[in-house]
Amino acid sequence: MLNKTCVDPFLTTNLGQALQNADANTIILMGLWTNYVVEATARHASDMGYRVFLVRECCASNTVENHEFTINKILPTICYVVSVKDTLAALE
């Protein structure tokens, strides 16, 4: 279990160590505050060399405008923004 106490879960949890222990190279993100927590996590993971996928329909923010701007303008420069359908197909 991870007890997140700040915006970036890599900073105050053992997430990085858990991913390293699992020999992970890919992260699939979903969550709240697309333009805040999800973006911070995607940035950090990308900077650490992970291949990052963000599931478009599984994220939300405080406003539709903030969510859409981040999904359409910011996150595509950091990670792969994908659909639920494509995510599920890739996992099968």
Domains of the chain: 24-91 (3.40.50.850)
d(CA 29, CA 91): 14
Asked if 68 and 74 touch (Cβ cutoff 8 Å), the reply is no
User: pLDDT of 17-51, one tens digit each?
Assistant: 999 999 999 999 999 999 999 999 999 999 999 99
Contact 17, 48 (CB under 8 A): no
**Cα–chain center distance at 27:** 7
Interval 59-77: pLDDT, tens: 999 999 999 999 999 999 9
